[in-house]
Amino acid sequence: MYMRHNFRHRFRRKNNTLNKTTSFKDKTSSFPDHISPQVESIQKKYQEAEEQIAHLKNIIFHQERLCLVGRFAAGIAHEVRNPLTIIKGFMQLLHKDLERIDKKDYAEMVISEVNRANHIIENFLTAAKFNESSKKKVYLKQFFAEIDALIQSEALLRNIKISINLEQVDSNCATQMDSQEIKQVFLNLLKNSVEAIEDSPNKNEGYICIKVIQKNEYIKISINDNGKGMDDAVLLNLYTPFFTTKEEGTGLGMALCREIIHNHNGKIEVESEVGVGTRFDIYLNRSE
- Is the pLDDT at 112 greater than 90? The verdict is no
The continuous run of DSSP H or E covering 132 comes out as: none
Percentages helix, strand, coil for the chain (3-state, rounded to 5) are 50, 25, 25
Q: What is the pLDDT of residues 203-256, one digit of tens each?
A: 888 999 999 999 989 999 999 999 999 999 999 988 887 777 776 666 778 888
CA 259 to chain centre: 6
- 18 or 116, which is more confident? 116
Contact 170, 210 (CB under 8 A): no
Residue 76: CB partners within 8 Å, gap ≥ 6? Answer: none
- 10 or 142, which is more confident? 142
Alpha helices in the chain (DSSP H): 36-100, 104-125, 140-158, 179-198, 232-236, 253-263
Band of pLDDT at residue 109, cut at 50, 70 and 90: confident
Q: What is the pLDDT of residues 41-94, one digit of tens each?
A: 777 777 777 777 776 666 666 666 666 565 565 556 656 767 777 788 877 888
Q: What are phi and psi of 164, to 5 degrees?
A: -120, 115
What is the sign of the dihedral through the CA atoms of 170, 171, 177 and 178?
positive
Q: What is the pLDDT of residues 118-132, one digit of tens each?
A: 776 766 655 445 445
Band of pLDDT at residue 30, cut at 50, 70 and 90: low
Q: What is the pLDDT of residues 137-188, one digit of tens each?
A: 999 999 999 998 888 887 888 889 999 999 999 989 999 999 988 998 999 9
- 51 or 33, which is more confident? 51
pLDDT for 87: 81
Pick the CATH number of 136-285 from 3.90.650.10, 3.30.565.10, 3.40.640.10, 1.10.10.10: 3.30.565.10
Average pLDDT of the chain, as a whole number: 78
Average pLDDT rounded to a whole number, residues 258-287? 94
pLDDT for 2: 45
Q: What is the pTM of this model?
A: 0.59
Contact 185, 120 (CB under 8 A): no
pLDDT for 16: 54
pLDDT for 31: 54
Domain ranges of the chain: 27-131, 136-285
